[in-house]
Amino acid sequence: MTRLLEQIAYVRSGDKGDNVSIGVLARRPEDYAAVLRSVTPERVRTLFGDWARGDVQVYPMPNIDGCLVLMEHALGGGATRTLRFDQTAKSLGYAVLRLEVDEG
């Protein structure tokens, strides 16, 4: 049975200009390894396709059982320039929760 990341993690996100930061935090310490396996630059880039036009980086944060996802040039130019309906990082953060959990 396939699990989605939303079942083992939650997110907080923010944006600055055209860049997105998403914190992905395991709900339980024992799910941290699955979060790291599931949230990789490759998987995030595949999820967002052409929306992620710059670098995608994922930084482990073991002290809080989470990771930080940074996406450059991912908001269509930023809130004041984009033609996208939802121009902030909040919706992109929640979209990460649709990733399938890599059960390892």
Read off the pLDDT of residues 48-72 as tens digits, 9 standing for 90 and up: 998 889 999 999 999 999 999 999 9
> What stretch of H or E contains 37?
helix 32-38
Number of separate domains in the chain: 1
Distance of CA 86 to the CA centre of its chain: 16
Q: For residue 70, how far is the Cα from the chain centroid?
A: 8
Q: What phi and psi, each to the nearest 5 degrees, are found at residue 43?
A: -70, -40
Q: What is the rounded average pLDDT of the residues 44-48?
A: 95
| Strands of the 66-71 sheet, one edge to the other | 9-16, 19-26, 66-71, 56-61
Residue 35 lies in a domain: yes
Instruction: Return the CATH number at 16.
Output: 3.30.70
Domain with 52 in it? 5-96
Q: Quote the mean pLDDT of the chain.
A: 89
Q: Which helix (H) or strand (E) holds 58?
A: strand 56-61
Query: Is 102 part of a structural domain of the chain?
Result: no
Report if residue 104 sits inside a domain: no
Say what the pLDDT of residue 45 is: 95
If one compares 80 and 91, the residue with the highest pLDDT of the two is: 91
pLDDT band at 87 (very low <50, low <70, confident <90, very high): low
